[in-house]
Structure 1
Amino acid sequence: MTIGVLNDMNAREYDICVYGETSAGVTAAVQAGRMGKSVVLISNSAHVGGTTTSGLTATDINSHLSIGGLSREFYQRIYRYYLDAATWKNQERDAYFQSIVKRVFKGKSDPLKMQWVYESHVAEQIMRTMLLEAGVRVLFNERLDLENGVVKKENTIHKITMESGEEITAKVFIDATYEGDLMAKAGVSYTYGRDANSDYNETYNGYRPNEIVGLEEKGISVDPYRVKGDPASGLLPFIEADAGTVPGSADKRMQSYCYRLTLTDDPANRVPIRKPENYDPLWFEVLARQLELDPAIPLRKKLITLTPMPNRKTDTNHLDFVGANYSYTEGSYEEREKIAALHKDYALGKLWFLANDPRVPEHIREEMSEWGLARDEFVDNGNFPHQLYVREARRMLSDYVMTEHHCTGEEIAPESVGLATYWLDCHYVSMVVDQEGNLRKEGTYWMNTPNYPVSYKSIRPKEKECDNLLVPVCLSASHVAFGSIRMEPVYMVLGQSAATAAALSIDRECSVQDVPYEVLKSRLVSDGQILKR
Structure 2
Amino acid sequence: MRIREGYDVVVIGGGTAGAMAGIAAARSGARTLLVEKFGNLGGVLTLGMSLKGVNDGEGVKALGGIGAELLDRARAAGGATTIVSAHPRHGSIMGQDPESMKFNLIDMVRASGLQLLLHSYLVDAIVSGTRLQAIRVANKAGLEIIPAKCFVDCTGDADLAALAGAGFVMGRESDAQMQPVSAIFRVGGVNLEKTWAYLEEHPEDFETPDGYVGDEYTVAKFRAKPGVGVAGFRSLIQKARAAGDYTIPREDLGFNPMAGRPEVTINITRVHGIDGTNPDDLTRAEIESQLQIIEGVRFLRKYLPGFEDCYVVSSPFQVGIRETRRIQGSYVLTKEDCRTGANFPDQVARGAYPLDVHDVSPSVHGTANVPGGGTDLSQIPRSYGIPARCLVALGVDNLLVAGRALSATHEAAGSARGQPVCMATGHAAGTMAALAATLNTVPSELDIKHVQYVLRQQHAVLERG
TM-score by length of 2: 0.79
Cα distance, 1:142 vs structure 2: 1.0
> Which residue in 1 is equivalent to 2:16?
23
2:447 equivalent to 1:454: no
> For residues 305 and 389 of structure 2, what CA distance do their matches in structure 1 show?
52
- Is 2:251–2:373's contact at 8 Å kept on the other side of the alignment? no
SS of corresponding position for 2:7: strand
The CA deviation string for residues 81-113 of structure 1, in whole angstroms up to 9 with x for no partner, is 11xxxx8xxxxx9xx9899998998988xxxxx
> Which residue in 2 is equivalent to 1:341?
287
2:144 equivalent to 1:166: yes
Whichever residue aligns with residue 406 of structure 2, its letter is L
SS of corresponding position for 2:372: strand
> For residues 158 and 45 of structure 1, what CA distance do their matches in structure 2 show?
24
2:188 equivalent to 1:257: no
> For residues 237 and 97 of structure 2, what CA distance do their matches in structure 1 show?
32
Aligned residues: CA RMSD: 3.4
Q: How does 1:397-476 map to 2 (within 5 A)?
A: 397-409=328-340, 412-432=343-363, 440-441=371-372, 444-449=375-380, 450-462=382-394, 465-473=395-403, 474-476=405-407
> For residues 86 and 261 of structure 2, what CA distance do their matches in structure 1 show?
16
- Is 1:14–1:169's contact at 8 Å kept on the other side of the alignment? yes
Q: Choose from 132, 138, 147 the match for 2:116.
A: 138
Q: Choose from 38, 42, 47 the match for 1:49.
A: 42
> For residues 319 and 285 of structure 2, what CA distance do their matches in structure 1 show?
9
> For residues 44 and 104 of structure 1, what CA distance do their matches in structure 2 show?
34
> For residues 341 and 64 of structure 2, what CA distance do their matches in structure 1 show?
24
- Is 2:361–2:372's contact at 8 Å kept on the other side of the alignment? yes
Whichever residue aligns with residue 117 of structure 2, its letter is L
> Which residue in 2 is equivalent to 1:331?
278
Q: How does 1:264-279 map to 2 (within 5 A)?
A: 264-265=188-189
- Is 1:174–1:498's contact at 8 Å kept on the other side of the alignment? yes
- Is 2:185–2:267's contact at 8 Å kept on the other side of the alignment? no
> For residues 283 and 39 of structure 2, what CA distance do their matches in structure 1 show?
15
Q: 1:155 to 1:453 in 2, by over 3 A?
A: same
> For residues 532 and 502 of structure 1, what CA distance do their matches in structure 2 show?
21
Q: How does 1:170-189 map to 2 (within 5 A)?
A: 170-189=148-167
2:365 equivalent to 1:369: no
- Is 1:255–1:392's contact at 8 Å kept on the other side of the alignment? yes
> For residues 265 and 191 of structure 1, what CA distance do their matches in structure 2 show?
43
SS of corresponding position for 1:498: helix
- Is 1:55–1:385's contact at 8 Å kept on the other side of the alignment? no
Of the structure 1 ranges 345-354 and 431-440, higher mean CA displacement relative to structure 2 is found in 431-440
SS of corresponding position for 1:158: strand
Cα distance, 1:43 vs structure 2: 1.0
Q: 1:509 to 1:338 in 2, by over 3 A?
A: same
- Is 1:432–1:442's contact at 8 Å kept on the other side of the alignment? no
Cα distance, 1:515 vs structure 2: 0.6
2:123 equivalent to 1:153: no
> Which residue in 2 is equivalent to 1:224?
none
SS of corresponding position for 1:429: coil
Cα distance, 1:178 vs structure 2: 1.6
> For residues 436 and 15 of structure 1, what CA distance do their matches in structure 2 show?
53
> For residues 143 and 173 of structure 1, what CA distance do their matches in structure 2 show?
15
Whichever residue aligns with residue 470 of structure 1, its letter is L
Q: 1:103 to 1:119 in 2, by over 3 A?
A: farther
Whichever residue aligns with residue 120 of structure 1, its letter is P
> Which residue in 2 is equivalent to 1:79?
75
Q: 1:105 to 1:80 in 2, by over 3 A?
A: farther
> For residues 388 and 127 of structure 2, what CA distance do their matches in structure 1 show?
23
Cα distance, 1:459 vs structure 2: 0.6
The CA deviation string for residues 266-324 of structure 1, in whole angstroms up to 9 with x for no partner, is 69xxxxxxxxxxxxxxxxxx9976546699x9xxx97422221145244434323141x
Q: 1:438 to 1:30 in 2, by over 3 A?
A: closer
Q: 1:123 to 1:526 in 2, by over 3 A?
A: same
> Which residue in 1 is equivalent to 2:203?
none
> For residues 422 and 446 of structure 2, what CA distance do their matches in structure 1 show?
21
> Which residue in 1 is equivalent to 2:230?
none
> For residues 313 and 156 of structure 1, what CA distance do their matches in structure 2 show?
52
- Is 1:305–1:318's contact at 8 Å kept on the other side of the alignment? yes
Whichever residue aligns with residue 329 of structure 1, its letter is G
Cα distance, 1:60 vs structure 2: 4.3
Whichever residue aligns with residue 371 of structure 1, its letter is C
SS of corresponding position for 2:406: coil
Q: Choose from 510, 517, 529 the match for 2:441.
A: 510
Cα distance, 1:169 vs structure 2: 1.1
SS of corresponding position for 1:519: helix
- Is 2:7–2:32's contact at 8 Å kept on the other side of the alignment? yes
Q: 1:266 to 1:416 in 2, by over 3 A?
A: same
The CA deviation string for residues 445-484 of structure 1, in whole angstroms up to 9 with x for no partner, is 233332110010001012xx10111001110000111111
Cα distance, 1:349 vs structure 2: 2.3
Q: 1:369 to 1:100 in 2, by over 3 A?
A: farther
Q: How many correspondences in the alignment?
A: 409
Q: 1:454 to 1:102 in 2, by over 3 A?
A: closer
Whichever residue aligns with residue 22 of structure 1, its letter is G
Q: 1:429 to 1:347 in 2, by over 3 A?
A: farther
SS of corresponding position for 2:8: strand
Whichever residue aligns with residue 307 of structure 2, its letter is M
2:439 equivalent to 1:493: no
Q: 1:454 to 1:410 in 2, by over 3 A?
A: closer
Whichever residue aligns with residue 336 of structure 2, its letter is H
2:12 equivalent to 1:66: no
> For residues 447 and 101 of structure 1, what CA distance do their matches in structure 2 show?
13
TM-score by length of 1: 0.69
Choose 1 or 2 for highest CA Rg.
1
2:451 equivalent to 1:527: no
- Is 1:432–1:439's contact at 8 Å kept on the other side of the alignment? no
Of the structure 1 ranges 164-173 and 452-461, higher mean CA displacement relative to structure 2 is found in 164-173
The CA deviation string for residues 406-464 of structure 1, in whole angstroms up to 9 with x for no partner, is 112285434101111123221232222899977643774233332110010001012xx
- Give identity over the alignment, percent: 24
Q: 1:411 to 1:131 in 2, by over 3 A?
A: closer
Q: 1:292 to 1:166 in 2, by over 3 A?
A: closer
Gaps of 5+ in 1: 1-7, 88-92, 109-115, 196-249, 268-285, 357-363, 375-382
Q: 1:496 to 1:303 in 2, by over 3 A?
A: same
Whichever residue aligns with residue 22 of structure 2, its letter is A
- Is 2:358–2:375's contact at 8 Å kept on the other side of the alignment? yes
- Is 1:60–1:104's contact at 8 Å kept on the other side of the alignment? no
- Is 1:258–1:347's contact at 8 Å kept on the other side of the alignment? no
- Is 2:183–2:320's contact at 8 Å kept on the other side of the alignment? yes
Q: Choose from 13, 19, 34 the match for 2:6.
A: 13
Q: 1:491 to 1:313 in 2, by over 3 A?
A: farther
> For residues 99 and 153 of structure 1, what CA distance do their matches in structure 2 show?
49
> Which residue in 1 is equivalent to 2:322?
391
- Is 1:20–1:176's contact at 8 Å kept on the other side of the alignment? yes
